[in-house]
Amino acid sequence: MKKAHALALIAALLLISIAVSGCDSAEGFSIYLTKDNTPPYEMPALSQIELAEQPIISIDDIVSYHQETHEIELTSDAYQRLMALDITTSGMAFVACVDGQPIYWGAFWARFSSQVFDGIIIMVPLF
């Protein structure tokens, strides 16, 4: 049930950010890595997280979002950026932001990982 609420929150944030992204002055929805590559199991409070300079995924990188499955289709460039990440079996932390403000954090997760993470994940394809 907890995960269903988290996924519903993600869906709502994505829809809101898509609506807001029409404004030129706003960044809209984006996903950042942490500045110092903080591991997911060491993430501080959301207000204490330092973001990388540029988002790994911006609203312009999202081709479509499928609400039923919570799948995000990315541009080829965004997909290549994700595939270039060195995601270990313990994941890589990310922070979802709207207009540069952190909303929630989670982890990019490798499909081959047998570790458990009790949080929001973005499953990265094997290839």
Number of domains comprising the chain: 1
Exposed, middle or buried: residue 91 (CB in 10 Å: 0-12, 13-18, 19+)?
Answer: buried
93-103 confidence digits (pLDDT tens): 999 999 999 99
Give the structural domain span for 46.
Answer: 2-124
| Residues 52-80 pLDDT 10s | 999 999 999 999 999 999 889 999 999 99
Q: Is the pLDDT of residue 13 over 60?
A: no
What is residue 77's predicted lDDT score, i.e. its pLDDT? 96
Rounded CA-CA distance 1/62 in Å is 27
Q: The whole model's pTM is what? A: 0.75
